[in-house]
Amino acid sequence: MWETVIGLEVHVELSTKTKIFCGCSTAFGAKPNTQCCPVCMGLPGALPIFNGEVLRYATMAAIAFNCEISKTSVFDRKNYFYPDLPKAYQISQLYFPIGKNGKVPIKVGDTEKVIRIHEMHMEEDAGKLIHSEYDNETYPDYNRCGVPLIEIVSEPDFRSSAEVIAYLQKIKSICEYLGISDCKMQEGSMRVDINLSVRKKGEETFGTRTETKNINSFRAIEHAIEHESARQIDAIESGERIIQQTRHWNEDKRSSYAMRSKENAQDYRYFPEPDLLPLVVTDEYIESVRASLPEMAESRKQRFMSDYALSDYDASLLTASLHTAELFEKTLSKINMPKEIANWIIVPLQKLLNERGKTLDDVSLDPDNFAEVISKVTSGKINRASGMEILEAMVEAGGKIDVDGYIKEHSMEAIDDDGLIVDTVRKIVGANPASVAEYKGGKTKVLGFFVGQVMKELKGKANPAKVNEAILKELSK
Ligand code: ADP
Ligand code: MG
Ligand code: ZN
């Protein structure tokens, strides 16, 4: 029996306003090469100045990942030439990273496990190369040069893709709660390299690993892991040796190809960055950062359980991502129905998002709009099925629609006309004397039958509370 062994290198782009060593903006999506200066372009004579916000963000992360924080951390130059890096070196941390020996607990199904963090360091991002399919040229965009990153290097502690996904979701959730990154994989603000080897179960030593890059969704990570693990097992079983190399994942083709043989630290000729002093942090600094940490998932979950009487299960689901927790609380500030809102989020909303492969990152559901739909259903203005339909339209529209307009356009208004409801009830009750007799004989269950018949007659649009009331009145005659 084979066992898969995985270690992850995760890059997270920090959402500081400016870059790590200059004052250029880090905003995503600007016109190429409009957010650069001599420092981040590495022009001769330009000198870096360290952005203190990066240290604060990195310290928050180090605390949240339970790392030991280095009182003195040092920037190193990692030398390599590639057109996305005009300086021909990246400022990173190799020998004295800001955090070491961290621990991130994860849960897969009912099994809990702790993933060990080897180290966590700060570094600058490189630019982006845009390969044009139209003219077969490559266009460099240097806006991303110098955007601050933290790189989180795990120990080879993962044994399945499910553990990897649980860990990445945890990292993402922690960074979102801290407010230090949006961790959007599709925008490259969270990037994952997968180091993977296989071995026979029970073996003590690890096999030779490959490193797979260019993976930009959770789904692609799952595919890449299954694929690479099968590829290595196949190779070994047919007598080949695994070569330590860097591989490139192609999600469309669901396959990978070798990019280059894996480089070692020596290849980069690392040396301490001469233009920057070592970073020294005091205990007081670390404690002040710790004291300023925002409310995290676990305490929010406890608060949801005690303040809103939600179950452990509901509270866990609602707080797993900050977006979900915020949607819940913002909706709650409009309509005070915690259990009802929780149900809407956990069941239909989650289903609609899953079907589209999306999350609340992509669809920022408007809490006012959401509250409006829920209260229209609970007050009987529209029926539940219509409510679900409107929610779907909201998700399709990217999070917000004109609810009243939609209800009119699709004639979803519940029948509130008392006269019509009473007439229909009379008709149904009159047509079913046997059921009336059963009811009078004590079989109150037939009430459901009457409600069903009346609703059917009124095409499901009657206000259920009114129907119930009218039937009871009619039957008590
Ligand atoms: P490098 O410096 O070459 O990138 P590291 O020793 O820093 O190598 O390891 C990088 C990542 O690879 C770490 O996450 C580590 O856990 C993982 N790793 C190391 N050896 C193996 C292995 N044999 N199988 C799977 N993952 C591994
Ligand atoms: Mg590495
Ligand atoms: Zn700059």
For ligand 2, the distance from its centroid to the CA atom of residue 265, given in whole angstroms, is 8
Residue 341: exposed, middle, or buried by beta-carbon count in 10 A (0-12, 13-18, 19+)? buried
For ligand 1, the distance from its centroid to the CA atom of residue 353, given in whole angstroms, is 35
* Residue among 195, 228, 232, 260 whose CB has most ligand 1 atoms within 8 A, to mutate: 195
Q: What is the CATH number of domain 418-475?
A: 1.10.10.410
Count helices and strands in the chain by DSSP H and E runs? 17, 16
- For the sheet with 89-92, list strands across it: 89-92, 76-79, 271-272
User: Could you list which residues have their CB under 5 Å from ion ligand 3?
Assistant: 22, 24, 37, 39-40
Ligand 1 atom nearest residue 264's Cα: 3
Ligand number nearest to the C-alpha of 267: 1
pLDDT of residue 91: 97
Ligand number nearest to the C-alpha of 154: 1
Q: Of the given ranges (28-42, 94-108, 419-433), which has the lowest mean pLDDT?
A: 419-433
Q: How confident is the model at residue 413 (pLDDT cuts 50, 70, 90)?
A: confident
Q: Name the nearest CA neighbour of 42 among 14, 81, 16.
A: 81
Ligand number nearest to the C-alpha of 263: 1
Tell me the C-alpha distance between 175 and 170, whole Å.
Answer: 9
For ligand 3, the distance from its centroid to the CA atom of residue 390, given in whole angstroms, is 46
pLDDT tens per residue across span 344-359: 999 999 999 999 988 8
For ligand 2, the distance from its centroid to the CA atom of residue 167, given in whole angstroms, is 18
Mean pLDDT in residue range 315-321: 93
Ligand number nearest to the C-alpha of 92: 2
pLDDT of residue 351: 95
pLDDT of residue 206: 96
Evaluate if residue 261 carries a pLDDT over 80. Answer: no
Q: Name the residue type at position 223.
A: H
Q: Any idea where the domains of the chain sit in the sequence?
A: 2-287, 297-406, 418-475
For ligand 2, the distance from its centroid to the CA atom of residue 120, given in whole angstroms, is 11
- Which residues have C-beta atoms less than 6 Å from ligand 1? 5-9, 153-156, 195-197, 206-207, 209, 265
DSSP 384-410: HHHHHHHHHHHHHTTS---HHHHHHHT
Query: Residue 11 has which token pair?
Result: 């890059």
Ligand 1 atom nearest residue 262's Cα: 3
pLDDT tens per residue across span 94-152: 999 999 999 999 999 889 999 999 999 999 999 999 998 899 899 999 999 999 999 99
Tell me the C-alpha distance between 379 and 335, whole Å.
Answer: 12
| 22 half-sphere exposure, CB direction, 13 A CA radius | 23
The residues, any chain, with a CB within 8 Å of residue 437's CB and separated by 6 or more, are: none
pLDDT tens per residue across span 168-227: 999 999 999 999 998 988 888 999 999 999 999 999 999 999 999 989 899 999 999 999
